[in-house]
Amino acid sequence: MKTNGSSDLPRASVSQRLASLSRFRTSAILLVVLLVVLVGPGVAISSTIPTISINSVVTDQTVSITTYNYPANQDFVVTMGPMGSMGINGYYVTTINSGAGGSFPATFAIPSQLKGSYQIAIRLESPQGYYSYNWFYNNTAGQGGQPPYTGIPTFRIVSVNTDQDVTVETNNFPANQTFTWTMGPMGTQGINGIVVNPAWNSGSGGTMTATFAIPQQLKGSYQISIRAQTGHANPFYAYNWFYNNTTGTGGQPPPPAIPGYTGYPTFTVCSVVQNGSATIRTNNLPPNQVFTVTMGPMWTAGVNGTPVAGFEAWNSGAGGTQDLTLPIPSQLYNSYQISVRMQTGHTYPFYAYNWFYNNNASGFCG
């Protein structure tokens, strides 16, 4: 990897460096557009979140990382700062170019200002708005940090004590994240609800149980929504609901049983034609089920979205893995990001959702 810069630069210079890179990108955009017209589709845009993992640490000297799902040909400013800062406004370390993107290793010097620190945050950020961060122990015995996170967090209702508390069990929660848990009326998904735990840490992530008191304002309610969400601009979140009684735990029951089928469907966005179509690849699709595919604004998960032409009542046939090309509804033309959802019409349906950048992009499914 090509690097430049020095760890002696002050924190203020980081924003200057990002601004400088952004001005350079702006001055070059006409050339980029011309090249796209002459030679074909542009560089693929990352449709999922770039992350980094910590590989090794040499105390007070260096940290080695590996990137995952990085966009190609972008300059990333590398900063380090105190633990908990996520590297924001940290000490400038260097600038690297992501080259072909995807996954690659890199090693960075620890700034002199952070030598002797017990834990250090590290951040990589591009002027285009891509970023990732992690942290590490500043010693050679424990590298800290966390592996790349995939999938989405969910939780189920374990038990309820009427008007007293609810116990939940999480699944696939990201590690070392601070969640705010809220409760609210049925149908709200806990959005803008009453805070029942403002700073619940997910620890090692994955599967955990937790019990939360039912707020006074919701006592006597027949059904209650509950939500967990981090404070990021693009947060991790999960929600469910429960009956406020001791005989039924509520929550969303499983979809109808299909002989031989287990698990739940998912899909990956493989390629996009801006304002034209998105091609997806399904995984573990249940057979012979009628799905409605919708698209909507970002963060809606496609709920109450616009039906996709030709997929208003699409039959999954043999199920499993299939490639589908979905026309983008005209109502969403020029949207920066778009949510897409596929869902059956059952009372407790099969469903899956994802999102994509509305840019020309390809190559995400191999």
Full 3-state SS string of the chain: CCEECCCCCCCHHHHHHHHHHHHHHHHHHHHHHHHHHHHCCCCCCCCCCCEEEEEEEECCCEEEEEEECECCCCEEEEEEEECCCCCCCCEEEEEEECCCCECCEEEEECCHHHCCCCEEEEEEECCCCCEEEEEEECCCCCCCCCCCCCCCCEEEEEEEECCCEEEEEEECECCCCEEEEEEEECCCCCCCCEEEEEEEECCCCECCEEEEECCHHHCCCCEEEEEEEECCCCCCEEEEEEECCCCCCCCCCCCCCCCCCCCCCEEEEEEEECCCEEEEEEECECCCCEEEEEEEECCCCCCCCEECCCCCCEECCCCECCEEEEECCHHHCCCCEEEEEEEECCCCCCEEEEEEECCCECCCCC
- Structure confidence at residue 355 as a pLDDT band (50, 70, 90): confident
- Structure confidence at residue 200 as a pLDDT band (50, 70, 90): very high
pLDDT on residue 229? 92
pLDDT on residue 250? 62
Q: Which of 15-29, 170-184, 238-252, 339-353 has the weakest average pLDDT?
A: 15-29
- Structure confidence at residue 273 as a pLDDT band (50, 70, 90): very high
Cβ-contact 338, 278 below 8 angstroms: yes
Distance in Å from the first CA to the final CA of the chain: 24
- Structure confidence at residue 4 as a pLDDT band (50, 70, 90): very low
Q: Looking at per-residue confidence, does 225 or 365 come out higher? A: 225
> Is pLDDT at 31 greater than 60 in this prediction?
no
Cβ-contact 220, 209 below 8 angstroms: no
Q: Which domains does the chain have, with CATH numbers?
A: 3-137 (2.60.40.10), 154-243 (2.70.50.50), 266-357 (2.60.40)
Q: Would the pTM of this model clear 0.75, i.e. be above it?
A: no
Phi, psi of 18 (to 5 degrees): -65, -40
Say what percent of the chain tops pLDDT 90: 39
Buried b (16+ CB within 10 A) or exposed e, 283-300: eebbeebebbbbbbbeeb
For residues 239-263, average pLDDT: 73
> Is pLDDT at 299 greater than 50 in this prediction?
yes
- Structure confidence at residue 14 as a pLDDT band (50, 70, 90): low
- Structure confidence at residue 352 as a pLDDT band (50, 70, 90): confident
Average pLDDT, the chain: 81
Most confident of 23-27, 51-55, 302-306: 302-306
Cβ-contact 119, 154 below 8 angstroms: no
- Structure confidence at residue 165 as a pLDDT band (50, 70, 90): very high
Cβ-contact 187, 224 below 8 angstroms: no
CA separation, residue 315 to residues 40, 267, 319, 338 (Å): 35, 16, 9, 23
> Is pLDDT at 340 greater than 90 in this prediction?
yes
pLDDT on residue 176? 84
Most confident of 119-133, 182-196, 311-325: 311-325
> Is pLDDT at 131 greater than 80 in this prediction?
yes
pLDDT on residue 30? 34
Phi, psi of 291 (to 5 degrees): -105, 145
Backbone torsion region of residue 176, taken as left when φ is above 0, otherwise alpha when ψ lies between -120 and 50, otherwise beta: left
Cβ-contact 72, 96 below 8 angstroms: no
Cross-strand bridge partners of residue 108: 63
For residues 262-278, average pLDDT: 89
Cβ-contact 25, 128 below 8 angstroms: yes
